């Protein structure tokens, strides 16, 4: 299907070597590449050259990687633990999956089969980031919440 999976992240507790071994063991090195974490312009370039951003998580506060990807118009495939799954699904800005290997596999297959919707999902991703998660939107929402709390406290 002309797809490639690039995995980025730190070597947490020696897991980099474990993932390298899994890639070799399953003989998928032609389509799966493991990279150390990246930042700055290099990260921006990688994101801009991506078709889909995948972040699976069981627990995540506010997933900055997902927010960055959405802001660049990159559809996201995420699990419930990222805390943004329902927003991404409602906005048609990507795909959601339960946190099981089978569900994630099926979501990836689904995302690949929906390539014709990439432009729509990309526009929706950018719109979601701008409408719900921009600094302007977040700051206005925060001030409004503080005002509500102050009003409630004073009554």
One digit per residue, the tens of pLDDT, for the chain of length 155 reads 789 999 999 998 989 999 999 999 999 999 999 999 999 999 999 999 999 999 998 777 778 899 999 999 999 999 988 889 999 999 999 999 999 999 999 999 999 998 777 799 999 999 999 998 888 888 888 899 999 889 876 65
Cα maximum dimension of the chain = 66
What is the per-residue pLDDT for 123?
Answer: 96
What is the pTM assigned to this prediction? 0.85
What is the per-residue pLDDT for 155?
Answer: 58
Report the phi/psi class of residue 73: left, alpha or beta, with left for phi > 0 and alpha for psi in -120 to 50. Answer: left
> In 31-100, which residue ranges form alpha helices assigned H by DSSP?
40-48, 64-71, 85-90
What is the per-residue pLDDT for 133?
Answer: 87
> In 5-134, which residue ranges form alpha helices assigned H by DSSP?
15-25, 40-48, 64-71, 85-90, 101-113, 118-132
What is the per-residue pLDDT for 153?
Answer: 66
Q: Are 89 and 78 in contact (CB under 8 A)?
A: no
What is the per-residue pLDDT for 95?
Answer: 96
Q: Are 81 and 98 in contact (CB under 8 A)?
A: no
């Amino acid at each position: 299907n002309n797809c490639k999976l690039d995995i980025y992240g730190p070597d947490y507790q020696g897991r980099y070597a474990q993932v390298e071994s899994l890639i070799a063991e399953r003989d998928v090195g032609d389509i799966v590449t493991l990279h150390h974490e990246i930042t700055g312009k290099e990260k921006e370039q990688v994101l801009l050259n991506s078709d889909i951003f995948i972040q699976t998580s069981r627990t995540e506060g506010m997933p900055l990687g997902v927010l960055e990807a959405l802001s660049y118009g990159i559809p996201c495939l995420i699990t419930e633990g990222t805390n943004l799954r329902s927003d991404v699904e409602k906005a048609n800005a990507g795909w959601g999956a339960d946190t099981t290997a089978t569900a994630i596999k099926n979501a990836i297959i689904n995302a690949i089969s929906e390539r014709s919707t990439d432009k729509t999902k990309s526009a929706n991703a950018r719109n979601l980031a701008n409408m719900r998660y921009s600094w302007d939107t977040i700051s206005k929402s925060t001030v409004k919440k503080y005002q509500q709390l102050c009003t409630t406290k004073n009554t």
